[in-house]
């Protein structure tokens, strides 16, 4: 049977926590069992705020030994002991996986603080080539012997077991790991679900059963269609009375989740990842308004060069940009890419500058995603500016963001009747800020007027409001509107006012 899977992000910050982002941690839950990936500071607080049950945590994976990924582990283990579920006993051991010297560090942290746990734990270390076995030392009283897992052809195989709802099935899950490039040893983990039963092709099987109905009834089958369930359940061929063979469904690969630690190059994970359903990749640095040159240098700056500088800065610290993450996602054919590990310089949702379009928008403007599951489609509502024929109207529009945003601009389209020299008849807005970055081939606009990755949705909408008040009829999109604007301003104003009334249902 298909096991329900979900991922909960408990922390998405890097290096320093902020008011809006906790240190790194995420919880992978399959059929109620929870595996934790990284445990930065205050992970236990995030778990308490979530709907996850701490007592369900059975395995913890540490990607690397930087503090923002592991400082929360010792206190978390102490808290887990106080939150044991009824289905667990003191004999349930928490398995912890990670690089050297995780075992020694955790042991010393617990011993130095005289901490005792209600559950035992064991640490399995991923041994890089050339690393020596640790010297014997006194175990913590609640510590069990863990494995030293050797690397084979640049891959670590970690066979793991997780029961499904039917405990007797004992379907085997697999976690594999590979070293990825960072400033210290870092790993990426690949979670592989077991093969799943495929679907029966009823269009082929049912006609064959119907053809043999009489013979099957004579054999004692009260309802020959029960063979469908038998075929699915036994996964074995069934030979019909006329010699036709019913083939069981072909097994399909299970889901694959790739979770990477900090990295500036994770290409080494490619041999063990293929078409993952989800790739979780760090994006510590990104090109934003913070990287915009000073005003005196703004003219003639090259956004491609600026992107290159941001990428070089990220790589120099062992980190990645969103573009680097997307490149890897494309190479491994990932169905979904999720970014995490954001620098503290990028404010979260509590920052007023980031949320004002939805909660504190400039007067006369509101905007936000149409659906929280699709951030590439936004809706906007613009109030007609005072002193213009648009005054009093409420004009709805959509913004569609391309997959390579912010390298390319979004498109904006009014979804109501709209008459303006710089708006096409179908509602699409035509202004400089929405034109592709670079020089204008017609030499009408300067590159500084066109789109650049540091522009914002707010600036687009404010530019549109300005456009409503001051049309540009020299490079018009609607020829009729341009002509009437130039030759018969009174008629133009009347058409616009009528459209404004329509938006109010009048």
- Active-site residue list: 430
Helix (H, G, I), strand (E, B) or coil at 155: strand
Beta strands in 31-185 (DSSP E): 33-37, 57-61, 94-99, 121-127, 148-150, 156-161, 172-180
Contact at 8 Å (CB) between 81 and 118? yes
> Would you state the structure tokens that stand for residue 297, as one six-digit string?
């240098």
Q: Work out whether strand 186-192 and strand 256-260 pair parallel, antiparallel, or are unpaired.
A: antiparallel
Could you tell me which residues come within 8 angstroms of residue 172 by beta carbon, excluding any fewer than 6 positions away?
A: 159, 160, 161, 194
At 180 the three-state DSSP class reads: strand
Other beta carbons less than 10 A from residue 77's beta carbon = 24
**Diameter over CA atoms, the chain:** 93
List residues bridging with 282 in a β-sheet: 340
Strand-pair category, 374-383 with 394-400: antiparallel
One DSSP character per residue, 203-260 reads HHHHHHHHHTHHHHHHTT-SSTTHHHHHHHHH---EE-TTS-EEPPPPPB---EEEEE
Are 282 and 325 within 8 A, CB to CB?
yes
Quote the CA–CA distance of 500 and 506 in Å, as a whole number. 9
Rounded Cα distance between 159 and 238, Å, is 34
Give the integer Cα–Cα distance in Å for 144 and 122. Answer: 5
Coil, strand, or helix at residue 326?
helix
Burial class (CB in 10 A: 0-12, 13-18, 19+), 81: buried
CB of 3 closer than 8 Å to CB of 331: no
Question: What Cα–Cα distance (Å) separates residue 238 from each residue in 208, 226, 228, 295?
Answer: 11, 12, 10, 77
Q: Read off the tokens for 189.
A: 């983990």
CB atoms within 10 A of CB 406: 21
Candidates 400, 418, 397; CA nearest to 408 is 400
- Structure tokens that stand for 106 in this block: 């955790």
Whole-angstrom distance, CA of residue 166 vs CA of residue 328: 37
Contacts 24+ apart (CB under 8 A), 200-206: 200/228, 200/231, 200/232, 200/249, 201/249, 202/228, 205/231, 205/246
């Amino acid at each position: 049977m298909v096991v329900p899977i979900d991922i909960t992000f408990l922390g998405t910050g890097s290096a320093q926590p902020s008011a809006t982002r906790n240190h790194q941690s995420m919880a992978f839950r399959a059929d109620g069992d929870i595996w934790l990936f990284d445990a930065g500071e205050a992970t236990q607080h995030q778990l308490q705020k979530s709907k996850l049950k701490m007592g369900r945590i059975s395995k913890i994976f540490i990607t690397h030994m930087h503090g923002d990924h592991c400082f929360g582990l010792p206190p978390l283990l102490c808290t887990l002991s106080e939150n044991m579920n009824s289905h667990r006993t003191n004999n349930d051991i928490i398995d912890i996986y990670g690089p050297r010297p995780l075992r020694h560090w955790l042991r010393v942290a617990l011993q130095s603080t005289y901490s005792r746990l209600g559950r035992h734990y064991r640490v399995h270390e991923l041994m890089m080539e050339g690393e020596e076995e640790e010297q014997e030392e006194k175990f913590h009283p609640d510590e069990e012997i863990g494995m030293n897992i050797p690397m084979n052809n640049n891959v670590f195989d970690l066979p793991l077991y997780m029961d499904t709802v039917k405990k007797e099935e004992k379907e085997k899950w697999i976690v594999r790991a590979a070293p990825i490039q960072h400033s210290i040893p870092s790993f990426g983990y690949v979670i592989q679900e077991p093969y799943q039963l495929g679907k029966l092709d009823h269009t082929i099987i049912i006609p064959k059963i119907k053809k043999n109905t009489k013979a099957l009834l004579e054999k004692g089958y009260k309802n020959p269609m029960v063979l469908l369930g038998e075929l699915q359940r036994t996964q074995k061929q069934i030979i019909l009375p006329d010699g036709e063979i019913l083939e069981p469904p072909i097994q399909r690969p299970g889901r694959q989740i790739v979770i990477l630690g900090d990295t500036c190059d994770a290409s080494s994970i490619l041999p063990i990842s293929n078409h993952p359903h989800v790739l979780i990749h760090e994006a510590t640095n990104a090109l934003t308004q913070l990287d915009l040159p000073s005003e005196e240098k703004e003219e003639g700056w090259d956004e491609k060069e600026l992107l290159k500088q941001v990428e070089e800065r990220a790589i120099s610290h062992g980190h990645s940009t969103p573009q680097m993450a997307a490149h890897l996602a494309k190479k491994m054919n990932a169905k979904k890419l999720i970014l995490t590990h954001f620098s503290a310089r990028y404010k979260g949702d509590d920052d007023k500058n980031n949320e004002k379009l939805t909660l504190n928008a400039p007067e006369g403007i509101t905007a936000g995603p149409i659906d929280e599951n699709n951030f590439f489609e936004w809706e906007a509502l613009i109030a007609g500016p005072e002193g213009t024929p648009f005054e009093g109207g409420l004009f709805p529009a959509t913004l569609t963001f391309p997959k390579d945003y912010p390298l390319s601009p979004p498109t904006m389209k009014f979804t109501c009747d709209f008459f303006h020299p710089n708006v096409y008849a179908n509602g699409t807005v035509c202004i400089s800020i929405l034109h592709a970055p670079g020089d204008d081939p017609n030499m009408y606009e300067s590159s500084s007027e066109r789109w650049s990755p540091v522009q914002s949705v707010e600036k687009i909408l404010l530019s549109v409001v300005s456009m409503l008040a001051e049309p540009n009829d020299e490079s018009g999109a609607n020829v009729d509107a341009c002509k009437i604007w130039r030759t018969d301003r009174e008629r133009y104003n009347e058409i616009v006012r009528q459209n404004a009334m329509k938006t109010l249902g009048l």
